[in-house]
């Protein structure tokens, strides 16, 4: 059993996929199926030993912020009806918080370089998280965006020589895949809510940002990943069944994630 759980393929794909699938099936009638993304992300983090918070390093600050996003999103879903404006404001807030996450890295850089790098990371996380959160009203597009962002960030991080960020990204993508699969099988949409969209957006963006700050992921790859929530908004035929819309939306978002992975691969050659 231990050898099975220590298998990287299980940690980054099968286990988080099953976690996302089970949480979606168990909780979607309570309108809490959106917790699937954080369930899968935490499953992978726990299996690879990253679900720790002391001492408070940059990676552990990242984990705290990634867990705070779905918690805040769930509060928004249960207490008030959050609109697009709220989604964008929360995106900006989490973007600004990345300065705290990577403060120990930024202080080691010259002032101008720290300002440019920090500003770029803040903009990337704010944009990605905000536009992901704004997808809360369409669970098919949201699930596809989480799939594309998670897998894209994970495989791009792998090309950038960051195994832990790669597994976290892949785990997030696998969990979003489980959320999407339930909708495809049932032939109906399931409430994603801010818990899913903000959680997946912040976690995916932070994984990519971490691979940039602490490994070798480049700015071009980040720009391609930032296009994922925009790709999820591309037209879907209204008359198509849910499963077909989910497949097409996933192809849109995976194209962005695949492009980021390809650029990261070429950068290592």
Q: What percent of the chain has pLDDT over 90?
A: 74
Band the pLDDT of 269: cuts 50, 70, 90.
Answer: confident
Query: Taking each helix axis from N to C terminus, what angle separates 219-226 and 242-267, rounded to the nearest 10 degrees?
Result: 170
> d(Cα 209, Cα 161) in Å, to the nearest integer?
14
Confidence of residue 1 (pLDDT cuts 50, 70, 90): low
Concatenated DSSP letters for 121-156? Answer: HHHHHHHHHHHHHTTTT-HHHHHHHHHHHHHHHHHH
Question: Which of 21, 7, 13 shows the shortest CA–CA distance to 173?
Answer: 13
CA distances from 29 to 23, 142, 175, 253 (A): 11, 18, 18, 27
Note the pLDDT tens digit of each residue in 146-196.
999 999 999 999 998 888 999 999 999 999 999 999 999 999 999 888 999
Q: Are 24 and 180 in contact (CB under 8 A)?
A: no
> What interhelical angle do 193-214 and 139-159 show, nearest 10?
10
Chain centroid offset of residue 105 CA: 22
Q: Which residues contact 138 (CB under 8 A, 6 or more apart)?
A: 189, 192
∠ Cα 147 219 167 (to 5°) = 40
C-alpha to C-alpha distances, 48 to 12, 45, 56, 172, 248, nearest whole angstrom: 9, 5, 18, 13, 32
What is the Cα 182 distance to its own chain's centre?
19
Contacts of 142 (CB under 8 A, 6+ apart): 132, 135, 136, 192, 196, 197, 200, 232
How high is the mean pLDDT of the chain?
92
Instruction: Report residue 196 as tokens.
Output: 């899913």
Phi-psi sector, 161: left (phi>0), alpha (psi -120 to 50), beta: left
pLDDT, tens digit, for every residue of 79-134? Answer: 777 677 888 999 999 999 999 999 999 999 898 999 999 999 999 999 999 999 99
On the 0-12 / 13-18 / 19+ scale of CB atoms within 10 A, 9 is exposed
Q: What is the Cα–Cα distance from 144 to 147, expressed in whole angstroms? A: 5
pLDDT-derived band at 53 (thresholds 50, 70, 90) equals: confident
pLDDT classification of 52: cutoffs 50, 70, 90: confident
């Amino acid at each position: 059993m231990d050898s099975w759980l220590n298998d990287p393929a299980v940690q980054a794909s099968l286990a988080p996929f099953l976690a996302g699938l089970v949480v979606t099936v168990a909780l979607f009638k309570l309108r809490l199926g959106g917790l699937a993304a954080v369930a899968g992300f935490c499953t992978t983090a726990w299996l690879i030993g990253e679900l720790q918070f002391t001492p408070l390093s940059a990676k552990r600050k990242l984990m705290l912020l990634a867990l705070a996003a779905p918690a805040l999103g769930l509060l928004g879903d249960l207490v008030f009806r959050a609109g697009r404006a709220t989604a964008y404001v929360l995106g900006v807030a989490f973007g600004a918080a990345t300065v705290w996450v990577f403060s120990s890295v930024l202080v080691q850089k010259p002032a101008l370089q720290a300002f440019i790098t920090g500003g770029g990371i803040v903009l990337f996380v704010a944009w990605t998280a905000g536009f992901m959160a704004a997808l809360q009203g369409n669970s098919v597009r949201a699930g596809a965006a989480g799939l594309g962002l998670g897998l894209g960030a994970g495989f791009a991080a792998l090309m950038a020589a960051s195994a832990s960020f790669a597994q976290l990204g892949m785990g997030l993508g696998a969990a979003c895949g489980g959320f999407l699969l339930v909708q495809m099988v049932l032939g109906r949409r399931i409430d994603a809510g801010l818990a899913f969209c903000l959680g997946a957006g912040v976690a995916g963006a932070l994984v990519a940002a971490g691979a940039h700050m602490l490994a070798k992921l480049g700015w071009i790859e980040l720009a391609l990943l930032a296009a994922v929530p925009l790709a999820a908004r591309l037209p879907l035929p209204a008359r198509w069944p849910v499963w077909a819309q989910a497949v097409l939306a996933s192809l849109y978002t995976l194209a962005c994630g695949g492009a980021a992975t390809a650029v990261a691969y070429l950068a290592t050659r």
